[in-house]
Amino acid sequence: MNETKSKATPKKSTTKPATTKKIPAAKKAASTPASVPGPVLVPTPSHEQIARRAYEIWAGRGYTHGDQAHDWWQAETELKRA
């Protein structure tokens, strides 16, 4: 008898290997800046520092009463800017 033996050949895979999409250098540089500044940390003055400065402001006005909240605000603002 004339039997033809067929050799089993492995099937080729039809799936393509995963590829990563390359981003052109110009677009990549534009999307991620080289140096990104971090957050600016402003030192917070302590309660004692604000109280001392508010006292100085009060003394500078001749110890007149009635503006203690404004003195405190002014002292805090000045110390935060320094």
Is residue 46 in a domain? yes
Q: Please, which pLDDT band fits residue 68 given cuts at 50, 70 and 90?
A: very high
Strand (E) or helix (H) holding 55: helix 47-60
Is residue 56 in a domain? yes
Q: Is the pLDDT of residue 41 over 80?
A: no
Residue 57, domain extent = 42-82
Distant-in-sequence, close-in-space partners of 57: CB < 8 Å, separation ≥ 6? 71, 74, 75
Is residue 73 in a domain? yes
Please say whether the beta carbons of 40 and 53 come within 8 A. Answer: no
Tens digit of pLDDT for each residue in 8-33?
666 665 666 666 666 666 555 555 56
Is residue 22 in a domain? no
Give me the number of domains the chain comprises. 1
Is residue 72 in a domain? yes
